[in-house]
Amino acid sequence: MKCPNCGGEVSVNDLKCPYCGTPNPEGIAFHQEVHKRRRFNQYLKDKTMEQMRLPLAHRILNLSLVILFLIVFLLLLVDLGMFLIAEDAFASFRLPDDYEQQMAQMYEEEQYGELDAFMDQYEIEPADYPVYTQITLLHNDYADFLSNSMECSEALSQGIIPDKYQINFVIKYTLELLYPDIPAYPDIYPENQPILNVWQEEALIYLSGVFGISSEELSALNPDGEPYYLLSTNSLSRLEESVIERWKEAGYHEADN
């Protein structure tokens, strides 16, 4: 198009003539229309984004609630599982209602090891049942005597002299049965005395028949009836050596190392 002032060529996009600077009405109208359309397009864009934002926010909120619900549900399951496990564990340590009857039955049936384990499992106060506690302590010495005497007998059955520590243990637990030393229960209860008498007799018979130790030798070793740990170590060693010499004379030999 031509500029009305100077006749120069003017583009429809020009706001004024590039030659004389005369305003171009068509260019001004064109730019106003473009600006108007841009504002309208921005309005549509903002309106569309606003309309989309609300459903998106709802979806995000719903997803968050679902995730939160799942987390809470899983935590409840974990808590329930831990509670059930703890309940089962606690039940195994809960004192039975008939615990006294069970203890009495174990005592009457001479299940002293089981009685000891039962009292320990349920943390039963020893002072509340002194008769039971005393017999379980005595039974521990008797069980140790049995274990070591069986090992000695096994070695001798093969013609082998038992190890010195086994000989020492048999003598030790025999003396602890003969001269019990339980500070909390210094006197043997009448209910336990017959049981202890049987164990003492069994230990003496074993020492006499297998070790060749007479009751007189034991009395000479401990004339005052003192606890084992107060006895002379030298006297005990001499007694053990005399037992080994008897076995050697009888044809037994020491184990090959």
**pLDDT tens-digit map of 206-239:** 999 999 998 888 888 888 888 888 888 898 999 9
Give CA–CA dist 128/25, Å, rounded.
Answer: 115
Neighbours of 173 (CB within 10 A): 23
Give CA–CA dist 86/80, Å, rounded.
Answer: 10
Taking a C-beta distance cutoff of 8 angstroms, is the pair 166, 150 a contact?
A: no
pLDDT for the residue numbered 91:
46
Taking a C-beta distance cutoff of 8 angstroms, is the pair 102, 159 a contact?
A: no
Q: Return the structure tokens found at 5.
A: 């002032």
Neighbours of 14 (CB within 10 A): 18
pLDDT for the residue numbered 138:
96
Q: In which band, very low, low, confident or very high, does the pLDDT at 256 lie, cut at 50, 70 and 90?
A: confident
Give CA–CA dist 178/172, Å, rounded.
Answer: 10
- Among residues of the chain, what percentage have pLDDT more than 90? 50
**pLDDT tens-digit map of 151-200:** 999 999 999 999 999 999 999 999 999 999 998 888 999 999 999 999 99
- Among residues of the chain, what percentage have pLDDT more than 70? 81
Own/partner contacts of 155-160, CB < 8 Å, gap of 24 or more, are: 155/255, 156/210, 156/247, 156/252, 159/251, 159/252, 159/253, 160/252, 160/253, 160/254, 160/255
φ, ψ (nearest 5 deg) of residue 88: -65, -40
Q: Return the structure tokens found at 74.
A: 């899983």
- DSSP 8-state class, residue 229: G
Q: What is the rounded average pLDDT for all residues in the chain?
A: 85
φ, ψ (nearest 5 deg) of residue 80: -65, -45
